[in-house]
Structure 1
Amino acid sequence: MLRSNIRPDRLTLPYVLKSVAGLVDCELGRVIHGVIAKTGIEFDSFVRVSLVDMYVKVESLGCALQVFDESPERNKLGSILLWNVLMNGCCKVGGLRKAKELFDAMPVRNVGSWNSLINGFMRDGEVDRARELFDCMPEKNVVSWTTMVTGYSQNGHHEKALSMFSQILEVGVKPNDLTVVSALSACAKVGALEAGVHIHKYLSSNGFRLNKAIGTALVDMYAKCGDVESASQVFGMTKEKDLRTWSVMIWGWAIHGCFQQAFEYFDKMKSKGFKPDGVVFLAILTACSHSGQVDKGLSFFDSMRLDYSIEPTTKHYALIVDLLGRAGRLDEALSFIKSMPLDPDIVIWGALFCACRAHKNTEIAEFASQRLLQLEPKHPGGYVFLSNIYAGVGRWEDVERVRTSMKNRGAEKDPGWSYIEVDSQVHRFVAGDRAHKRTAEIHQKLEEITRSARKQGYTPETEWVLHNIEEEEKEDALGSHSEKLALAFALISTSPKTTIRIVKNLRVCGDCHSMMKYVSRMNEREIILRDIKRFHHFKDGICSCGDYW
């Protein structure tokens, strides 16, 4: 256009600036800014906003502020877009204090101004300040509500995200696709199947289209809430599938231990013309690991590099270590780690650790522990894993030595918690919890099912307790695990024959796994437990994992 001697005007240059922002090319942006200055339209309000927006998106906040400060119209009532663009940019690059200063100094604000700052607080993890601002808004739109739902979910406040979504429906605001996807994500995180089904019904009765985003979110929700069959049904009904939709479904089959279905969908995906990426291979390797398909997993790992030119990440290597370790091939797993082209991280050493615990291999566990603690001296995983290993073989002096070292270095173990949804209400339990309003009934029920299970042959697996304490005290410690508390609460709060669904943030211990099997048979209940690794479906005294976990 320039070579043709056609002069760009105020309508041309904003689109040029938008392209510069898309390329994230700051130097090119300065050149275009020079062209704008020479054409004499630098102070056009439309161009001015585009300049600020461009500098914000190429992360040159200083230049954006300079253009803003030099704008003669910034204190006029019609300049609200200019203020909002700069404030939004400050929030995105972490300049929250400056964004707040701009917000306070604005000559006039609209709903977009409030939404930008709320989003900024949520991005920075300042959830309470975001809520205070939201409550003070003189006017709210669907973006305001969506920002709150999304922000709560991304900051781990999943119950609040679902509560906010319910309020949206109560006040009569129609959610948009992003609102729905964020709410479904919150359901998936805490295993809130009832809430997820309610959202699905709302979508069906209010004319929402099952597009890629919503279809994928529903598949993910059903799979992570323990209903993989419904996930499969939604997947079949979703006409607009992309690679993420396929990967979410394959992940669903994998974490439920349905390796044959995972392999089948992997082949179907390829037959539909989709080329697998690294995420899909993570899913298919997970399926192999949970089902003991060692040779198949190694074959997939080779295919990933040779057939698709995908370089494995540390996550892929960790899954191969996990695959070999679960199968008891610990020496092979260690050799694999030593031959890796990448430096092994704490996830890889952690995978080897878990295998050592299962197979009681103290020698390799100690070696892996040294490597893990060299990488992160304050990471609690190394200490906890090694304590577990020593406790499992009765080396109590070593247990205390490791725990003392852990305390001295300021490493703190993550507390175990479990979620359970009853009557559309999510309840959270932590290990040793006595804060629940029905705690007396819960502990009474727990004692009752433990006595009944003993009569059926259950023996508490006290080697899962890390302290050298009396056997009776060990059994009390096992009884306070969060998943057992959630189980007892479900038994006193739900009707007979109702499926019990529990979500746990850590790996389920062997004793709790054993107890779940006995309770599923004694109470004729199906119990679906999701831990950090996979799903366990307990029915008639048997777990779907086949005790291979």
Structure 2
Amino acid sequence: MKALRLLFTNTKNRSPAKKPSIAPLFTDETQFISLIHASKTIKHLQQIHAQIILHQQFSNTRIVTQLISSASFKNNFINYALSIFRHSKNPNLYLFNSLIRALADNSYYMSSISYFLLMLRSGIHPDRLTFSFFLKSTSALQEGWLGMQIHSQISKLGLLYDRFVLFSLVDMYAKVGLLENASQLFDESSQSEYQSQSTLLWNALIDGFCKSGNCSKAFELFENMPEKYDSTWSILINGLMKAGEINTAMELWHSMEEKNVVSWTTMIDGLSHNSQHEKALSMFFKMLEEGVKPNDRTIVIALLTCAKAGALETGVRIHDYILSNGFTLKKGITFALVEMYAKCGSIENASHVFDKTEDKDLHTWSVMIQGCAINGHLHKALHYFNQMKSSGIKPDGVVFLAILTACSHAGNVQKGLQFFQQMKHDYSIDPTIKHYAVMVDIYGRSGQLNEALKLINNMSIDPDFIIWGALFSACRAHKNIKMAEYASEKLLELNPKHPGSYVFLSNIYAGADRWQDVEKVRTKMKNKGVVKDPGWSYIEMKGQVTSFIAGDYSHNLSDKIHMKLNEITKSAREHGYMPETEWVLHNIEEEEKEDALGSHSEKLALAFALICSNGGDEGVIRIVKNLKICGDCHSLMKYASKMTGRGIVVRDIKRFHHFKDGSCSCQDYW
């Protein structure tokens, strides 16, 4: 931090440094800058770069600054931008500002601060823009102490009430949680004309209080604003939504006299964030009915909401809207379309959109490979993985997690181990806790429990709840009670109030008819106030998403649903189905156990779908479940697919199950 001390000393009589003079205009300067702005790909930019060097224009600050900006922003090639900067002789304030901004805007916050320090060591004094870029990185890294030191130097340099610097300081303090500092600076600025004119300061402080959970203070500020702008309404609504204050946010939104695309999008996003998927999608179509055209962000949020709810029909409607209303399939929309189709179990449509996309980035490749993985398509996942490498894009940890997941669902231990080793040795990617968890799952699913435990004991990082949970699940599947008890102890040490640990252990004891142990676990749960998460399922019928919870009798068609479910179960019995009552935890009579199994949410969703179909074949039934599907529900779905002649897709918390003609895509390996 020596360079910072250079700035923090001898500033008493220092005025902001004069900006370096810019070289006089060259004949080709305007032409080169126009070409840079018009470039579409990194290849085009490199060709222009070569011409700049040939015409001896690389010393022109204006041109090189634009070259760095275009490389980092338009084409997102930050390494290329760094290379341009490093080859610049005697970089000045403009070049440093361009690079520091580029690094901050591309989330390379530590590098942005490092180049700020390099600038100081080079004897170049920052200006108002430099401080704004630097404070953005400071807030992103939550380094409030560094922001406070810069604040004092900004004051000494006489830049405190510059509009960019003032906003950056208040915004920084608000984002790092130093709201007293932010409020003090805000109050001090009330003497200036700028505060009354700027909505940015108000927005920064309101947003900060919302994120800290102090929505009442945010509301108070909102009420005191001399003029309330659309952006402020949206910030407060967004803050309320993030805090779970859905009703208050709705009331505020309804009180707006004029609603624009931003306010509509904020509400749709907030509802989706709070798992109110049906309401979010309903609001999206209401927005269209009222003549408000969505922007790209609205479209992305709506598609990702469809992905969460498994609402394929609605997702297709939105896709049709995109195509018929002139939307460009940019990266964000393409990613959301692939995600929507993949998470709705339509991997063919996901592949179709993906294959037609020309400009694929790492993020888009990873979502396609992950989509193949969760749908049980190992060969497709491998195909895209190899295609990605052939295109010159190196896989990262997220991509390897996806390919390992594909190996896990396919039960391919050898390939999983191969990719795990490749990730570490060929790509120097250190495994995270998630990678280890998938490897434990790969060993565990195949019954290699000792290998799984050995891997856990030899991990380079401490095993967490997910790791022990993966081992625990494998123990249950293979009825290894001794190891399950050991894993359970570890789980309860890490999180004594997590319901999963107790439920898993109860299931294992119940499967072994150890009912006294089951009751001990249940008593322990009760004494500690642990409550099991209820199972719920979503299903989309005729464009409407409906949710069910386990034991649900709240639906207006509840009687018909339960009658239909009884009819399905009876018919399935005639075809050989027997309720797998070991999935019920209570030591009760078999008949009561069957009743308990019949209340599972995915079964209710299935019955509802068949009622809505009026006995006709209306395509694939798609159900989304928040928990792992139980063995009995899995068995009934197979029989139902054979009896009805319809495909049934269930997406649980782990993977997709595609049921057809009495069998499942997982081949009962789950």
Q: TM-score, normalised to structure 1's length?
A: 0.94
> Are the aligned partners of 2:539 and 2:546 in contact in 1 as well (CA < 8 Å)?
yes
Corresponding residue number in structure 2 for 1:19: 133
Corresponding residue number in structure 1 for 2:617: 496
Corresponding residue number in structure 2 for 1:261: 380
Coordinate RMSD, CA, aligned: 2.3
Distance in 1, matches of 2:493 and 2:149, equals: 48
**What do the CA deviations read for 1:277-304 (whole angstroms, capped 9, x no partner)?**
1111111111011101001101111111
Corresponding residue number in structure 1 for 2:261: 142
Q: 2:170 aligns with which of 25, 40, 52?
A: 52
**What do the CA deviations read for 1:411-433 (whole angstroms, capped 9, x no partner)?**
11111111111111111111111
CA separation of 1:127 and 1:468: change in aligned 2, threshold 3 A: same
1:206 positional shift:
0.8
1:23 positional shift:
2.5
1:247 positional shift:
0.7
> Are the aligned partners of 1:419 and 1:427 in contact in 2 as well (CA < 8 Å)?
yes
Q: Name structure 1 gaps, 5 residues minimum.
A: none
In structure 1, give the amino acid aligned to 2:646: R
- Larger mean Cα displacement after TM superposition, 336-345 or 411-420: 336-345
> Are the aligned partners of 2:17 and 2:127 in contact in 1 as well (CA < 8 Å)?
no
Which structure is larger by alpha-carbon Rg, 1 or 2? 2
Distance in 2, matches of 1:178 and 1:61, equals: 29
Partner SS, residue 428 of structure 1: strand
Distance in 2, matches of 1:211 and 1:393, equals: 55
Distance in 1, matches of 2:195 and 2:261, equals: 28
1:91 positional shift:
3.2
- Larger mean Cα displacement after TM superposition, 265-274 or 93-102: 93-102
- Larger mean Cα displacement after TM superposition, 14-23 or 193-202: 14-23
Q: Name structure 2 gaps, 5 residues minimum.
A: 1-6, 8-13, 21-125
1:472 positional shift:
1.1
> Are the aligned partners of 1:13 and 1:36 in contact in 2 as well (CA < 8 Å)?
no
Corresponding residue number in structure 2 for 1:542: 663
**What do the CA deviations read for 1:460-501 (whole angstroms, capped 9, x no partner)?**
111111111111111111111111111111111123252111
Partner SS, residue 513 of structure 2: coil
CA separation of 1:109 and 1:325: change in aligned 2, threshold 3 A: same
Q: 1:300 aligns with which of 410, 415, 419?
A: 419
Corresponding residue number in structure 1 for 2:439: 320
In structure 2, give the amino acid aligned to 1:115: S
Q: 1:153 aligns with which of 266, 272, 275?
A: 272
Which protein has greater RCO, CA pairs closer than 8 Å, 6+ apart? 1
In structure 1, give the amino acid aligned to 2:137: L
Distance in 2, matches of 1:252 and 1:501, equals: 16
Q: How many pairs were matched up?
A: 547
Corresponding residue number in structure 1 for 2:231: 112
1:81 positional shift:
3.8
In structure 2, give the amino acid aligned to 1:244: H
Partner SS, residue 563 of structure 2: helix
> Are the aligned partners of 1:17 and 1:51 in contact in 2 as well (CA < 8 Å)?
no
Q: 2:299 aligns with which of 180, 194, 199?
A: 180
1:370 positional shift:
1.3
Q: 1:436 aligns with which of 541, 555, 560?
A: 555
Q: TM-score, normalised to structure 2's length?
A: 0.78
> Are the aligned partners of 2:129 and 2:165 in contact in 1 as well (CA < 8 Å)?
no
Alignment of 1:443-458 (within 5 A): 443-458=562-577
CA separation of 1:59 and 1:374: change in aligned 2, threshold 3 A: closer
Corresponding residue number in structure 2 for 1:522: 643
> Are the aligned partners of 1:68 and 1:74 in contact in 2 as well (CA < 8 Å)?
no
CA separation of 1:51 and 1:335: change in aligned 2, threshold 3 A: closer
Partner SS, residue 70 of structure 1: helix
CA separation of 1:326 and 1:73: change in aligned 2, threshold 3 A: same
Corresponding residue number in structure 2 for 1:510: 631
Identity of aligned residues (%): 62
**What do the CA deviations read for 1:312-367 (whole angstroms, capped 9, x no partner)?**
11111111111011101112111221222222212111111111111111111111
Partner SS, residue 437 of structure 1: coil
Distance in 2, matches of 1:249 and 1:211, equals: 16
1:67 partnered with 2:224:
no
Partner SS, residue 420 of structure 1: strand
CA separation of 1:476 and 1:92: change in aligned 2, threshold 3 A: closer
1:54 positional shift:
4.6
1:121 partnered with 2:235:
no
Alignment of 1:323-362 (within 5 A): 323-362=442-481
Distance in 2, matches of 1:47 and 1:247, equals: 38
In structure 1, give the amino acid aligned to 2:217: K
> Are the aligned partners of 1:14 and 1:50 in contact in 2 as well (CA < 8 Å)?
no
